[in-house]
Copies of this chain bind each other. A is one copy, B any other.
């Protein structure tokens, strides 16, 4: 097939459920993941890595302990390693995550909201 651009928003046609990241590209041992966010996620952290959120469409709120950050389309925020955070989106947000291979959506919190990692579309 050869070299091909990845149209990020178009890829969301292949993603039905929210809070379930899908991998679309890899950069060394990092992955680009697309995820639909709607409603509230759980508090969690990633003890070994920072985590980048880039909003493609909609609005995302990330609660951090003691403060919060709001992101609209075209806005980026990097959650520092080990910092507890809770993403939420009143209306659906389409988000690009960038993080190392193997990072789980619920970090070390685990629990029923945890989804399978490394699902490519």
Contact = CB atoms under 8 A, between A and B. Distances in A.
Interface of A: 2-9, 24-28, 30, 32, 49-52, 54, 56, 62, 64, 67-72, 74-78, 81, 98-100
Chain A, interface SS category: strand
B67 A3 contact: yes
A98 B98 contact: yes
A76 B6 contact: yes
A38 B105 CA distance: 38
Contacts of A49: 28
B2 A67 contact: yes
Contacts of A2: 67
Contacts of A100: 28
